[in-house]
Amino acid sequence: MSKRSKPSSKSITTFAFVAVILLLIVIVTDIQGGKKAYGKSSSAMGASVFLTLCGGDEKVADAMIEAVKHLDSDCLSPTIQGSDVFNLNANSGQPLKVNAETADVLKKAVEISKKSDFTLNIALGQLIRLWGIDGDNPRVPSAEEIEAALNTADMSRIFIDGNTASIGAGQLIDLGAVGKGAACDIAAETAKRLGVKAASISVGGSVTFVGQKSVSGLKSLFGGSELLWSVGIRDPFGSVNDTFASVKVGPVSISTSGNYEKYFEENGVRYHHIFDPKTGYPSDSGLVSVTVFSDSGLLSDALSTVAFVLGYEKSLPILKEYSAEAVFVFPDKTVRVTDGIKESITITDSEFTLI
């Protein structure tokens, strides 16, 4: 466990919890004003949710979890009957009123899709269903099936006007690439609104740290002398609790995409759950995982998917455009990082090499 200590801080409370994708070691220093951190776990979006709050209590944690569950079951879930995405998919071709949160996520996802030249493509629902990697019977589809599914993935057929949305007839949308990050955002907003001084929120492979500047004096995501957290980045070759690096961060959002999360193997080939919309096959950009740091949960989640599909070189411009930073892991256990994170990362597993 890494620790950043302040000489003036007498009581340092350590609250550690394990996220499903990232192991987080949360060191909470004097900003708590002597109060113990409050932790709560739950599940939503097919993932575990972990909260740690400073200056909040069970009521706040419950409100945060309720907000995440609302975003899942009323808004973004493709499988829960009655959610906006479920309804849009079941009524493709027709305009429907959606929750404000759904419209907001759709608008942001469409913007990032355009900026990424549709590497992020939220209209891949038919392709995702075809491969079935999330389900019990995943399979490699035929080239014809893949082509037919890709023919439904034209994002110019998605419209959002205020709180009314529509998708093209026969199209299926899937917000799996941004949902967990958006869930971190909604939980973080709830925490701030209810006066929490600092918090960590994790939903699957996405994590958001909240710290109010007025309390902590935080200046930037990585720099400054008031850094609060040390985050372990999961070893993509190891098990859930193994990490290969630690990064000192301020109030930032972090998402990891990797080929180890959901996959099946056939004839020695691993087919994972992140697709290249240009080919209709799982992306093959030479990465094992990529972890993206940004000031928004949705953005870090979207960009981790985009960077995983594009690979190291090609994802640098879009990461720069959104002022995001990233840690890329390659099959030979070499690691590359963007410039803004170089000072903040420490490789903790000697089998990995930062190049």
Taking residues 138 to 177 in sequence order and writing x for each that binds Mg ion by CB under 5 A, - otherwise, the string is ---------------------------------------x
- Residues 203, 49 contacting (CB under 8 angstroms): yes
Minimum distance from residue 82 beta carbon to ligand ADP (Å): 20
Taking residues 289 to 308 in sequence order and writing x for each that binds ligand ADP by CB under 6 A, - otherwise, the string is ------------x--xx---
Judged by beta carbon, residue 155 or residue 198, the one nearer ligand ADP is: 155
Minimum distance from residue 57 beta carbon to ligand ADP (Å): 29
Answer yes or no whether residue 202 interacts with ligand ADP by CB under 6 A: no
The Cα–Cα gap between 225 and 5 comes to 11
- Per rule CB under 5 A, count of chain residues that contact Mg ion: 4
How many CA atoms within 13 Å lie on the side-chain side of 84? 25
Judged by beta carbon, residue 56 or residue 176, the one nearer ligand ADP is: 176
Q: Which member of 67, 122, 290, 303 binds ligand ADP (CB under 6 A)? A: 122
Q: Which member of 56, 204, 236, 297 binds ligand ADP (CB under 6 A)? A: 204
- Residues 263, 273 contacting (CB under 8 angstroms): yes
- Per rule CB under 6 A, count of chain residues that contact ligand ADP: 21
Answer yes or no whether residue 183 interacts with ligand ADP by CB under 6 A: no
- Residues 241, 18 contacting (CB under 8 angstroms): yes
Q: What DSSP letter does each residue of 166-184 carry, written as one string? A: E--TT-----TTTHHHHHH
Looking at this protein, which amino acid is placed at residue 90? Answer: A
Minimum distance from residue 133 beta carbon to ligand ADP (Å): 7
Answer yes or no whether residue 149 interacts with ligand ADP by CB under 6 A: no
Minimum distance from residue 127 beta carbon to ligand ADP (Å): 8
Residues 3-32 that bind ligand ADP (CB under 6 A): none
CA distances from 312 to 120, 284, 288, 289, 355 (A): 16, 12, 11, 10, 13
Q: Residue with structure tokens 């192991």?
A: 23
Which residue of this chain has its Cβ atom nearest to Mg ion in the complex?
Answer: 305
Answer yes or no whether residue 236 interacts with ligand ADP by CB under 6 A: no
Q: Which member of 75, 160, 218, 309 binds ligand ADP (CB under 6 A)? A: 309
Determine the interface stretch with ligand ADP among 58-66, 87-95, 144-152, 271-279 (rule: CB under 6 A).
271-279
Q: Which member of 22, 110, 120, 319 binds ligand ADP (CB under 6 A)? A: 120
Answer yes or no whether residue 301 interacts with Mg ion by CB under 5 A: yes
The Cα–Cα gap between 9 and 53 comes to 19
Q: What DSSP letter does each residue of 97-119 carry, written as one string? A: E--HHHHHHHHHHHHHHHHTTTS
CA distances from 150 to 93, 115, 129, 206 (A): 17, 20, 12, 28
- Residues 337, 354 contacting (CB under 8 angstroms): yes
- Residues 28, 159 contacting (CB under 8 angstroms): no
3-class secondary structure, 227: coil
Answer yes or no whether residue 172 interacts with ligand ADP by CB under 6 A: no
Answer yes or no whether residue 104 interacts with Mg ion by CB under 5 A: no
Question: Could you tell me which of 198, 182, 194, 197 has the C-alpha nearest to residue 299?
Answer: 182
Q: Please give the residue ranges that form the binding site for Mg ion (CB under 5 A).
A: 177, 301, 304-305
Q: Please give the residue ranges that form the binding site for ligand ADP (CB under 6 A).
A: 120-122, 124, 128, 174, 176-177, 180, 204-205, 257, 261, 273-275, 277, 301, 304-305, 309
